[in-house]
Structures are given as C-alpha cells and as structure tokens.
C-alpha cells in the first residue's frame, strides 16, 4: 500500500466530510482535496516528474501544502519538505543534494529559491488550481536530473548534520505505514476526530498529523507558523475548532499552560494529548495535567530515523512521587529494541547503554551518505539496528529511561540540532576565524545554546548584527540564545577547543 491511497479511500467513503481546515476557518472536503492533489499530480507529470523522482516543497502550512504532499505522492515521487522560514541558501542546498526534479513553492519565494538551484529551471503557474493554489509556482528542471531514481521512497526529511550540512533521512511507504498502522491500533481514531497539525511538514511529528487522520476520514487542523507561536491563539484554536487529538513538543504545551490561559477555554473535547521531541519537565507536565485532567497522555519517542519506536501512556493525576522525567516506555510500531554498550554487545538488564532499533518503521538510510550509513547501523543477529545515539536504562515496570545523548546532538524546541552546524554557519562570517557552540540547561530546564566567536574585524563586535547574520544562515530554532566574543578559544592539551572550559565561561 502507498500513503496516497489513504486520501483516495477516504474521498470515496465520505466525499463531503471535512478533510482539512486552516485556523482562519478555510476548509476543504475530502473530494475537493483529492481533486486538488490529482491536479497537482497531473501538473508534475506534465513537467517530467515520474516514479522515483523527488519533489521539493517550500510552502507555508496551508491546504495547498497538504494537497502538494499528496500530489507529489500521486505522481510516484517522494516529497522533500523544507523549513519555509529558513534561508533560501539552506533550502537550495537540500534540493540540490537530493536531486529534486521539481519544486512547489509559493510565488513570493520562487525567485530567491530559483537562484540557489543548480541547473536550468522553468517556472510555471497553474491558475486552474483555484483559490487554494493561487499562490503556487512549480519550478521544473529543464535539464535531465542526474540523481538516481528511488521508487520505494515516500519522503525525505532533512535533519541537522554534524558536518555543518543537513542530511536527508529517507523513509519508504512501508516504514511510514508501520508507524501509522500502530497509531491506528493504539489510538483508535474516529472519523469525528479533529487532529492538530502543529508541526511543520519538514518535522517528523507531521507524519502522524497528516496520515493518521486522513486514513480514518478525520479532519486535519492546519496550524500555521504564526498561530503556532501564540499561546492565546492556540488555546482558542483547540476550543473553537474542537480539536480532539493534540500532538506537539513539550515546549509548546508548556507555553500554553504558562501564557495561553487554557483554563478559560473549553478544551473538553480533547481525548488524547501526545508530546514528543524533547524531555517534558515534570513540573510543567503536572500543571498541564491539573488543567486538563481528562485526556489520555502519551510520551512518544523516536528519532526521525525510526518514526516513533517507543511510547509511554499515562493518565492524570500525576503522582506526587513522580519527580524525574517520564520514561520513554516500551517498543511499538512493530519494532525491536535493545540496549548495547560501546562494543555493540547487549548490556545486562538494568545497565545503561545506547538504544538501538530494528524493524519496519526504521529509515532506509541517509540520502547519498554511505559512510554515515555504515556508522549509523549495527548488524547483529541477522538484523540491521539503527544506533539512536541516546543513552537509556531499562526498568522492568516502566520500560526505557532516557539518560542523555551520546554525542553533541541536542534537542531544542522539539528539533534536533547538531552544534557543529551552528559552528559551521558562524565560520561563514569573514571576521570569525574560530567559533564554538555549547548547549546547557537554561531557565525552566529548556535547552539554551551559547556560541563563542573570535572576532577579528576592526569594527566592534555587535550582538545585534551577529543575530541577524545567524538568522540569514540558520533556521530560527538554531539561532543561538547568546553569542559571546572571546580574544581566543581555550584549548586542551591536544590543541582542540576546550568545550568544558567554554561551559564554565558561559
């Protein structure tokens, strides 16, 4: 089965049911969404997109973006969504890296993006797509794409890379379905449900947001980037649009309880609250559960490479004895999990080690990175195990307890961030010969990123200008909270940057 079949089936079963709605109230039925997606598919085929190609998506969170996802799939391609707010240079790198055959972009960003694409491109508008697609432009490659065909792919999600360049996580229809089918079994979605779609489409949380409701004929509430950052607006959306299943990072739920005045809104139709992407501080979770005592809560865990591979279910109230972060729980999505030591051997029960995952929901691999793939997987007992890089301990009654990261990868606002990518961006500044980034616990337990630079310009160091430079070279969630100028970087005895010293200086 392929992912686009969910839309086709639901459109036949309940053509007039609401498939998606925007926070403005704009809505589209299943039959209309299916027709829109088919029109996009036809247009993509016309410009040369076929089975195994990639189609880039650079769009704000609207109905047109959802239709474009299914349109790309219907054309036999994999979709490659990017952060709409990120610099055109970063998005251009992603599209060039995976050899997209076409890009669907809104008219306002088409010119800037086109300058970053390698090769020769045409630009076409499709006015017949109607009001929902009025601002869409298709950039199509004139010359033949050189990247290989990959017909098994459904989507590629690019995550922060340790080399300073993002890397593409490739998922097949089968790996997505392994997760989606588990969601169906565990959450028992109904056609009457309304799912929040808070995560942007380039974030792996979106896989649940898009496909689980569409599979069951439910409604997707598309929350755009502006609304997604306003707690008062989010609280009203949940209440007024009758959201029944919520999914976001813990930081968004913390923002809701702190600033959203959720106690003043009728959110009683919520029946499930999912959170994932980062640790949920217990004091913040406790407040949420006191204000929303009726839903079932799920702590969902899994890097982009595995979809969701473990889960922990709980109900309010949270016991007073619970002071440590929640467990990430037990395996799901039909996967197998185990804990291994540095040598790859399984550790004794109760000992800490790295969590590795094998099974249907695990990615195919990183796009065009054979050496990175060799490092990322462990071949053991006739299976291929993905090394998550997360250090855990298994307890008999609660499952896995997350203890920390193996490397310098951190989670921030639910996104995975490689500190090396921030450093690489800072190094692009002509007046910065040396740069370093560290992560530390900020107030309320949230991750704070502090960068250090050696400044060589004759002009004084300007924090405002440096923040502007970072915003032009990094997605907003990767821009450091603080940037400090040093006369020189502290070094270890082996002439490496002394990161521990930098933590002391921060």
Q: In this structure, are residues 56 and 24 in contact, taking their beta carbons and an 8 Å threshold?
A: no
Based on the domain organization, do 398 and 440 belong to the same domain? no
Q: Domain check: are 83 and 159 in the same one?
A: yes
| 492 pLDDT more than 70 | no
Q: Per the domain annotation, does 251 fall within a domain?
A: no
User: Above 80 in pLDDT, residue 144?
Assistant: no
Strand pairing partners for 300?
311
Please indicate, yes or no, if residue 127 is contained in any of the structural domains. yes
Q: What does the pLDDT look like over 372-396, one tens digit per residue?
A: 999 999 999 999 999 999 999 999 9
Question: pLDDT value at position 146?
Answer: 63
| Helices assigned H by DSSP within 61-205 | 63-74, 88-97, 107-116, 173-187
Is 297 exposed, middle or buried, given 0-12, 13-18 or 19+ CB atoms closer than 10 A?
A: buried
Q: Residue 421: what pLDDT?
A: 82
Of the listed ranges 249-258, 308-317, 438-447, the least confidently predicted one is: 438-447
* Same structural domain, 56 and 114: yes
Pair (475, 431) in one structural domain:
yes
Asked if 167 and 34 sit in the same domain, the reply is yes
Domain membership of residue 156 (yes or no) is yes
| CATH number for position 391 | 2.30.38.10
Q: Is the pLDDT of residue 253 over 90?
A: yes
Structural domain contains residue 283: no
CATH number of the domain bearing residue 82: 3.40.50.980
3-class SS string, 238-273: HHHCCCCEEEECHHHHHHHHHHCCHHHCCCCCCCEE
371 and 426 both lie in a single domain:
no
Q: Where are the alpha helices (DSSP H) in 272-314?
A: 282-291
Residue 342 domain flag: yes
Measure Cα distances from 346 to 69, 330, 339, 340 in Å: 40, 17, 6, 4
Q: End of a domain among 405, 432, 464?
A: 405
Percent of the chain scored above 90 by pLDDT? 76
Q: How do residues 160-183 score in pLDDT, each as one tens digit?
A: 876 678 999 999 999 999 999 999
Q: Is 102 inside a domain boundary?
A: yes
> Mean pLDDT, to the nearest integer, of 277-283?
86
In terms of domains, do 66 and 140 share one? yes
Number of domains in the chain: 3
Q: Inform me whether the pLDDT recorded for 319 exceeds 50.
A: yes
What is the chain's mean pLDDT, rounded? 93
State whether 8 and 147 are in the same domain: yes
Q: Are residues 414 and 392 in the same domain?
A: no
- Looking at the fold, whether 399 and 431 belong to one and the same domain comes out as no
CA distance 25 to 32: 16
Pairing of strands 272-275, 245-248: parallel
- Cβ neighbours, 10 Å, residue 217: 21
388, 405, 422 - which closes a domain:
405
For 430, list phi and psi in degrees, rounded to 5: -65, -20
CATH at residue 433: 3.30.300.30
**Region of poorest pLDDT, from 214-218, 408-412, 450-454:** 408-412
pLDDT in tens, 392-444: 999 999 999 998 777 777 878 788 787 878 988 898 898 998 889 998 887 76
What's the average model confidence in pLDDT over 347-367?
96
Rounded to the nearest angstrom, the gap between the alpha carbon of residue 334 and the centroid of all alpha carbons in its chain is: 21
Same domain, 74 and 135: yes
Q: Do 376 and 413 have their domain in common?
A: no
- pLDDT-above-70 percentage for the chain: 98
Question: Is 379 within the bounds of a domain?
Answer: yes
Tell me the pLDDT band of 493, cut-offs 50, 70 and 90: very low
pLDDT at 164: 72
| Structural domain that includes position 149 | 4-13+25-172
Residue 92 has pLDDT above 50, yes or no: yes
Q: Residue 391 in 3-state DSSP?
A: strand
* Of 128, 149, 172, the domain-final residue: 172
**Contact status, residue 244 vs residue 271, Cβ threshold 8 Å:** yes
This prediction has a pTM of: 0.86
DSSP 434-457: EEEEEEEE-GGG-EEEEEEEE---
Is residue 491 situated within a structural domain?
A: yes
């Amino acid at each position: 089965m392929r992912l686009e079949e969910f839309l086709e089936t639901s459109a036949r079963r309940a053509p007039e049911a609401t498939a998606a709605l925007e926070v403005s109230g704009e809505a589209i039925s299943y039959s209309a969404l299916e027709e829109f997606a088919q029109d996009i598919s036809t247009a993509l085929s016309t410009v040369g997109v076929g089975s195994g190609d990639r189609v880039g998506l650079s769009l704000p969170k609207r109905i047109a973006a959802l239709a474009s996802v299914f349109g790309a799939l219907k054309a036999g391609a994999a979709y490659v969504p990017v952060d709409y707010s990120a610099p055109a240079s970063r998005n251009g790198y992603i599209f060039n890296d995976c050899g997209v055959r076409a890009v669907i972009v809104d008219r306002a960003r088409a010119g800037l993006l086109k300058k970053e694409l390698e090769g020769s491109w045409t630009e076409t508008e499709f006015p017949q797509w109607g009001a929902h697609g009025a601002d869409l432009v298709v950039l199509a490659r004139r010359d033949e794409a050189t990247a290989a065909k990959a017909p098994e792919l459904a989507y590629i999600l690019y995550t922060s890379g340790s080399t300073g360049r993002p890397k593409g996580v490739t998922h097949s229809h089968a790996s997505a379905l392994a997760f989606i089918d588990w969601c169906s079994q565990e959450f028992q979605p109904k056609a009457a449900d309304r799912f929040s779609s808070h995560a942007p489409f380039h974030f792996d949380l979106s896989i649940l947001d898009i496909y689980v409701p569409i599979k069951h004929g439910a409604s997707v509430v598309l929350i755009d980037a502006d609304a997604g950052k306003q707690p008062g607006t989010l609280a009203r959306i949940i209440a007024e649009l009758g959201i029944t299943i919520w999914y976001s990072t813990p930081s968004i739920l913390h923002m809701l309880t702190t600033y959203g005045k959720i106690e003043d809104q009728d959110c009683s139709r919520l029946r499930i609250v999912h959170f994932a992407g980062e640790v949920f501080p217990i004091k913040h979770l406790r407040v949420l559960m006191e204000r929303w005592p009726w839903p079932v809560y799920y702590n969902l865990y899994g890097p982009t490479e595995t979809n969701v591979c473990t889960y922990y279910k709980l109900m309010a109230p949270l016991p007073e004895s619970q002071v440590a972060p929640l467990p990430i729980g037990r395996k799901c999505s039909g996967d197998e999990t185990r804990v291994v030591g540095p040598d790859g051997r399984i550790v004794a029960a109760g000992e800490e080690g790295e969590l590795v995952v094998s099974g249907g929901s695990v990615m195919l691999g990183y796009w065009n990175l054979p050496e990175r793939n060799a490092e990322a997987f462990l071949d053991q007992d006739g299976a291929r195990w993905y090394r998550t890089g997360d250090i855990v301990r298994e307890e008999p009654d609660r499952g896995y307890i997350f203890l920390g990261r193996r490397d310098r990868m951190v989670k921030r606002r639910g996104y995975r961030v490689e500190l090396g990518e921030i450093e690489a961006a800072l190094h692009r500044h002509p007046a910065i010969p040396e740069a370093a980034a560290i992560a530390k616990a900020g107030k309320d337990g949230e991750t704070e990123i502090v960068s250090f630079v050696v400044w060589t310009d004759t002009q004084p160091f300007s924090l405002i200008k440096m923040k502007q430079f970072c915003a032009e070279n990094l997605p907003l969630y990767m821009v450091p909270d603080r940037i400090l100028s040093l006369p020189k970087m502290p070094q270890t005895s082996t002439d490496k940057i002394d990161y521990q010293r930098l933590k002391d200086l921060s």
